[in-house]
Amino acid sequence: MPDKREQVESIKKSGLGSDGCANKGVPAMKRWMVVVAMAAMLLAACSVRDASDTGIRQQDFPGPAAEERQTVAETPRPETERRPEQATEQAEESSGHADAEGQVQAPDESDEPAEPVVLADNLRIPWSIEMFGDVIYLTERPGGIVRIGNGVVERQRVELTQKLSTAAEAGLLGFVLAPDFAQTRQAYAYYTYQEGARPLNRIVLLRLEGDVWKEEEVLVDRIPSGRVHHGGRLKIGPDGKLYATTGDAAEANLAQNPESLGGKILRMNLDGSIPDDNPFPGSYVYTYGHRNPQGLVWTPDGTLYASEHGNRANDEINVIEAGLNYGWPVIEGTERREGYVTPLFTSGRNATWAPSGLAWHDGKIYAAALRGSAILEFDPASGEHRTVITGYGRIRDVRVEGRYLYFVTNNTDGRGDPQENDDKLYRVPLNAFRR
């Protein structure tokens, strides 16, 4: 391209001044033709500007209050790494390609980083991962809900009608968005509260108003609680019912008491009523004999699995079937007795996993392990299990969405060894686990 001085000389010879205006004495038609020609030259020069000149910057848009906002990750982001909000769109734009018929091909995953990438840090004991499209929601035990979207981490306030308990393992726990969240802005939550000196658990309906979640209705109340073993997982099953895990509140006999809601997996309609087809008429109880169940996941064929903390060791992964007794405190680990269910997987007497949240992908169960400080992969078909992620400390929840697995650490829960900027939300491609 000619330099600026050469451009000016050319303009002068054409009848235009250095400011681009026509010189006097040039016929009107000729002046018009010259203007058109020079306009084309100027447009061509502008077209080679750096593309960043036309980019839309995040800082051009107002965000939440500074004290409740943080950026996604301060570590430089690899070119192949994308925010969750951009995953679908950019998979086609940057990684996909069109075939001869113009159809977009699947992105090439071969260059994608196999190591987990931090999506959010400085979290306050996160407990549950939920997603709505490309937006991620996390509950925090002290009583916040963190929203992650458009590269911004925002802590949203939660207004509850009861004061949260500060007992070990207690607080704001399970969380799941209503199926019609886009219209109703409603979600379900499980939390531990104090009634005098006594902690209790409840399941409530929340509504999002602006950036504040407000308790709207109590669905189930006075679920037993104690110094530990609150359960707390909420999931909506393929049958459209709401399921909840409850702990034995450190009172083992509650798990075998059919009248108690402690040490159970509960099932209810989304309005909090008892389904007519529950195994025990007039009762929320779906299964019993649980010590501290922590995770729930369904397979595509409708099979339900649950994770459970054993007594010191003997942690469990169970196949859940309506009305069955899962043994605590009568049997543990590999013990067998008529009328009680022996787990599909157990850590045994000499090891502990403390499994929490569960996810399913391609025939495998993925479990967050607190004491195991890992993500474990279980293969129900072969009966084998292995560690697929370790080195990040205590892991509370996992979620599979698309071709990614998401997980949160719990190193700030008083039982871990917090590292800088803990706790964190991570994302890792599922192809990193291929054998």
Count Cβ atoms below 10 Å from residue 324 Cβ, excluding itself. Answer: 18
Catalytic residue status for 309: no
Measured between alpha carbons, how far is 115 from 106 in angstroms, rounded to an integer?
21
Can you say whether the dihedral through the CA atoms of 55, 61, 64, 65 is positive or negative?
positive
β partners of residue 148 = 136, 153
121 three-state secondary structure: coil
Phi-psi category of 319—alpha, beta or left, where left has phi over 0 and alpha has psi -120 to 50? Answer: beta
Rounded to whole angstroms, how far apart are CA atoms 116 and 266? 34
Q: What's the number of CA atoms in the CB half-sphere (13 Å) around residue 126?
A: 31
Please tell me whether residue 58 adopts helix, strand or coil conformation: helix
Can you list the positions of beta strands (E) in 33-185?
Answer: 69-71, 117-120, 126-132, 135-140, 144-149, 152-159, 172-177
Name the residue type at position 409. T
Helix (H) or strand (E) holding 432: none
List residues bridging with 401 in a β-sheet.
404
Contact assessment for residue 236 and residue 176, using Cβ atoms and an 8 Å cutoff = yes
Q: What angle do CA 217, 220, 226 make, to 5 degrees?
A: 120
Q: What share of the chain is helix, strand, coil (3-state, %, to 5)?
A: 15, 35, 50
Q: CA angle 418-351-375, nearest 5°?
A: 50
What are the DSSP calls for 221-281, one per residue?
Answer: EEEE--SS-----EEE-TTS-EEEE---TT-GGGGG-TT--SSEEEEE-TTSPPPTTSSST
What ranges make up the beta strands (E) of 322-421? 345-346, 355-361, 364-369, 374-379, 384-390, 395-401, 404-409
Active-site entry in 97, 229, 290, 309: 229
Active centre residues (catalytic): 229
